Amino acid sequence: MMIWMGLLIIYIGFQRIAESKLSRRNEKWLVERGGVIKIDEKLKWYTLLHSFIYFIIFFEVLLTGKFRHDINLLLFLILIGIQFFRFWCIRSLGKFWNMKNIILPGVLLFKKGPYKYTKYPDKISAVFEMIIIALLFGATFTAIIYAIISIYFLRGPSKEIIPKATV
């Protein structure tokens, strides 16, 4: 039963490596054309949290003993849906997709694919992905805390990521 967990971890690891390579290649392409990297301090801390979430999940499961040996099929299907959504985000931006905020002067914001509805759908999908992964492994506390922290980090100066509700 634990084979699925190992395979999931390996898949996510390879996916992150591939995304990092694509991001670096796209960053180089954008910077060569005059792209400017926009640094947001809150997003730097959020990226750090996002990097350590796997260890946090592991330690919660280890400390609480709530390790899931079976797979929750509904959560797994949701995770697969999120993966397709992430691929859609990346494909919609093409060479403009990047893990960093890079602004290319003279280029308008993309309004195709999921970017028609929100400015940063890839970041929103990353939040949901981490919550689902935590729940899949039985780390309920981490999923709840991560959701709360994500809302804090993705609001701040980057209000366009998760817009405030208007009345």
| Percent of the chain scoring above 70 in pLDDT | 90
Q: Which architecture, in CATH terms, is 3-153?
A: Up-down Bundle (1.20)
Q: Residue 141, SS3? A: helix
* Rounded distance between C-alpha atoms, residue 10 and residue 12, angstroms: 6
* Rounded distance between C-alpha atoms, residue 56 and residue 130, angstroms: 11
**73-118 pLDDT, tens per residue?**
999 999 999 999 999 999 999 999 988 888 888 887 778 899 998 8
pTM of the model: 0.81
CA distances from 81 to 25, 33, 91, 95, 110 (A): 26, 34, 15, 23, 22
**pLDDT, position 135:** 93
CA distances from 4 to 10, 56, 86, 136, 137 (A): 10, 19, 21, 11, 11
How large is the average pLDDT for residues 124-132? 91
Residue spans of the domains in the chain: they are: 3-153
How large is the average pLDDT for residues 130-140? 92
**21-54 pLDDT, tens per residue?**
999 999 999 999 999 988 777 777 877 887 888 8
CB 146 within 8 A of CB 18: no
